[in-house]
Amino acid sequence: MNMNDIATNIAKIRSQIDTYASNCGRNPAHIQLLAVSKTKPAEDIRTAYAAGQTAFGENYLQEALSKIGQLQDLPLEWHFIGGIQSNKTRALAENFDWVHTLASEKHARRLNDQRPDSQPALNVCIQINVSGEASKGGIEPEEIMPLAQAITEMPNLNLRGLMAIPAPTDDIDEQHQAFARLAKMQQAMQQAGIDTDTLSMGMSDDMQAAIEQGSTMVRIGTAIFGKRSASVET
């Protein structure tokens, strides 16, 4: 995709965020656009940065590390949104600003222990399997509080909130229901004294419903960079 297309797409998405937020009485400034750049070259990220985008989400660690190295001259914010494996936690702890897919105390402790003292606490979100899909990562809702409480005691982690990838559907009501469940889970955390500020939910096909249910960070890839090529990394 050429430079003009990426810049145009980012402007369009930002306009949509503004419209959806304003229509439901929310401040658009409270919703961050996370550009999902997996399988896209570093040059596309550089183009997106020139268009004002600074936060990028990556799913595949080795691919991400390559791009982080190529783009270290830019003040980018790197978010890991792929599955976590124990043998990759050190690289995540050392190279990313956010990890959205935390789903076990074991991985939380590894990230905490491996985060360099020279860096600020790693921002993390707990991933919830909000639709109960066997193929999706994330914990069950009843497991949130024990994990959240454990994370709050880890000095090198900063628990920011919850993340989910609901089952894909074109049914607007179903989209709303899934996102509303995640929002209620965050409210329960806050009522229990665990203060968080992030709901990482909503992608290209369900962004409007996510924003209307309180999303503070939408993860948009295809609508910015175009269709993705296949990646063989897990």
Q: What is the pLDDT of residue 230?
A: 56
CB 32 within 8 A of CB 219: no
Q: What is the pLDDT of residue 57?
A: 98
Q: What is the pLDDT of residue 1?
A: 66
149-173 pLDDT, tens digit per residue, is 999 999 999 999 999 999 899 999 9
CB 79 within 8 A of CB 56: yes
pTM of the predicted structure, to 2 decimals: 0.95
Q: What is the pLDDT of residue 143?
A: 94
Tell me how far apart the alpha carbons of residues 194 and 38 are, in angstroms, rounded to a whole number. 32
In DSSP terms, 230 is beta-bridged to: none
Q: What is the pLDDT of residue 71?
A: 98
- Provide, for the chain, the percentages of residues in helix, strand and coil under a 3-state DSSP scheme, each rounded to the nearest 5: 45, 20, 40
Mean pLDDT of the chain: 94
Q: What is the pLDDT of residue 137?
A: 83
Tell me how far apart the alpha carbons of residues 33 and 14 are, in angstroms, rounded to a whole number. 8
Given a cut of 80, is residue 43 above it in pLDDT? yes
75-130 pLDDT, tens digit per residue, is 999 999 999 999 999 999 999 999 999 999 999 999 999 999 999 999 999 999 98
Angle between helices 42-50 and 61-70 (to 10 degrees): 60
Q: What is the pLDDT of residue 44?
A: 97
Phi, psi dihedrals of residue 26, rounded to the nearest 5°: -105, 155
190-220 pLDDT, tens digit per residue, is 999 999 999 999 999 999 999 999 999 999 9
Q: What is the pLDDT of residue 130?
A: 86
The per-type count for the chain, helices as H runs and strands as E runs, is 9, 8
Q: What is the pLDDT of residue 201?
A: 97
Lowest mean pLDDT among 22-31, 32-41, 112-121, 127-136: 127-136
Give the domains, in start order, of the chain with CATH numbers: 3-225 (3.20.20.10)
Mean pLDDT of 42-51: 97
**Pairing mode, if any, of strands 122-128 and 157-164?**
parallel
Percent of the chain topping pLDDT 70 = 96
3-state DSSP of 28-94: HHHCEEEEECCCCCHHHHHHHHHCCCCEEEECCHHHHHHHHHHCCCCCCEEEECCCCCHHHHHHHHH
Of 112, 198, 121, 200, nearest to 161 by C-alpha is 198
Given a cut of 80, is residue 8 above it in pLDDT? yes
Q: What is the pLDDT of residue 229?
A: 64
Burial of 134 (0-12, 13-18, 19+ CB in 10 A): exposed
